[in-house]
A and B are shown apart, each in its own frame.
Chain A
């Protein structure tokens, strides 16, 4: 693996090249974890995408290639995502600063493809440098349940065009299309 030996970290350029080496259908979660774990968390480009919003967590698209999306999310204490899966994409999230709460959900009552009741299966707290990984069909939720701001780096492979959002009360599953601009 062509890692920058001086810093022992992957630059974004390196990361893109490494991702291009692996055929999308061959990419597995462990490989993606290995690569994301080596990204330089003090990268200037990454820092430029850190921004906080009072309305909800801020989501900035840092890079999109044919193989993956890379986003920077900035969270005030208390902010959280929906309960969702990534419609077939792999996802690895790395904590840059703060503490991330990552919850994996399980379906306990599958009434149909659009009506599934879910509940929390596991929850973990992740700190700087640690990874939260979500396989292609897993349902999860991320949250900042700490008292400090949180910044996380997210890689989705393949690029995300939509996600499925699960309502924990009604069981309804909604396909939600995602659209990004570089400044979103």
Chain B
């Protein structure tokens, strides 16, 4: 029985991939009266930041066969996209195969379609309410919580899912921050104006050399940019391209794996060396770790996790978070023609005049300073994950009331295994849950669709299991 026979109400804050797929699972599986309130501040549901790009050249970094929203139906996306391919004109590759890297904006449509289909298939007393608004505070009480929206309205919910996705990058640390107020500086790489009003012959500087930087570089190429594209990051390492490989057999068990990061890295390196000698690709060795990465992470002591973040993270990311071959080819050509120049080092200072800005870069492991003169600087350092740094009212509100706390590494929020948030005293919430990037401290591997779809399914099951909320 639900309390007073009223429908259970679940509010999902954030209508990107995570929030939409939780909603879809709730719609499909609820067997009792349920009201789902999906709250999204952007004009469209289902896209989030990841799939909201306007550029057709922004491809998924995972092949179509691995992008299903449903872990139990791995070919769901492939079937959908193959059915859709005829009507997509130039945007879609003419034939979508399991190994095709599909444009991200097409994937956004898929997420919307999944939500729409789940809504259509839901039982009559299971309803989805799409609320285009912004949640700015949550007040939990004995019977649930009140969510306040920026327009002043409030709504009640028995359970709340914080499907917050990724937060914007922070400005790189520097002594004199005055350049960060310049119109030549773009602090947010997904800004609709990040690449507008750039003269095609101007030089541009992209800070950061990961997947976000590659997105910007190919978007510049798509809009006919001919000027230099400077890239600066501490190590100057770019993500490796995907390659289809023969799967490598599991070589490491959770129980047998070293609990120290140095030994773990040495072991993986040796395995890669052996594998290559036997004709395998290094990618297959790393991919064989995927099913146990979260467990390997969890059994590392905190100090070893810290050591990983300090010394190994950058190398892990360029090998693990690979780029589609098509994008890699474009970037390789830009590097070959020297249109793109990668600088390993740190930005020391900006000196702006009426025409451009001189950016002084101290080269890695040296005291040498190199100056590049560019018309625009775009921060593409990737998502910020330290919740203590967020000025968003909802995060401020939850933090100031002690309803949430950062994990010990400050790379996400403290969560229990079922996704329930821990408050400032470590008490597991009965009301607030999360999934996706906020679980990074607990799981490490939690930002890609293959992980989030499992979390979405399990979280929906958890929420439906505890139906007697009163």
- Which residues of A pack against B, CB within 8 Å? 41-42, 47-48, 50, 52-56, 76-80, 83, 96-99, 103, 120, 125, 127-128, 141, 143, 145, 147-149, 151, 167-169
Contacts and interface: CB of A to CB of B under 8 A. Distances in A.
A52 B391 contact: yes
Contacts of B134: 78, 80, 143, 145
B466 interface: no
Interface string B128-158: 0000001010000000000000111110000
- Chain B interface category by residue count: 20 to 34
B245 interface: no
Contacts of A145: 41-42, 134, 150
B153 A169 contact: yes
Contacts of A80: 134, 136, 150, 393
A103 B178 CA distance: 31
A149 B393 contact: no
Interface string B367-394: 0000000000000000000000011111
A47 B168 CA distance: 22
Contacts of A125: 43
A50 B150 contact: no
B153 A168 contact: yes
A51 to B, nearest CB: 9
Nearest to B194: A148
A136 B120 CA distance: 46
Contact of B188 (A78, A79, A149): A149
B190 A147 contact: yes
B182 interface: yes
Nearest to B193: A128
Nearest to A143: B150
Contacts of A97: 183, 193
Contacts of A41: 183
A168 B193 contact: no
Given A76-B391, A80-B136, A80-B393, A98 B150 contact: no
B434 interface: no
Given A147-B49, A168-B152, 10 more contacts: A42-B183, A54-B396, A79-B393, A96-B183, A97-B183, A143-B134, A148-B187, A148-B188, A149-B188, A167-B152
Nearest to B354: A42
A127 B192 contact: yes
B168 A79 contact: no
A99 B188 CA distance: 12
The residue in A55, A76, A77, A141 that gathers the most chain B C-beta atoms within 10 A of its C-beta is: A77
10 contacts: A47-B182, A54-B396, A98-B188, A103-B151, A143-B134, A145-B42, A147-B49, A147-B188, A148-B191, A168-B152
Nearest to A47: B181
B392 A78 contact: yes
B187 A149 contact: yes
Contacts of A141: 150-151
B394 A169 contact: no
Interface string B181-204: 111000110111100000000000
A50 B183 CA distance: 12
A77 B392 contact: yes
Nearest to B391: A76
A36 to B, nearest CB: 17
Contacts of A96: 183
Contact of B154 (A120, A151, A169): A169
B31 to A, nearest CB: 35
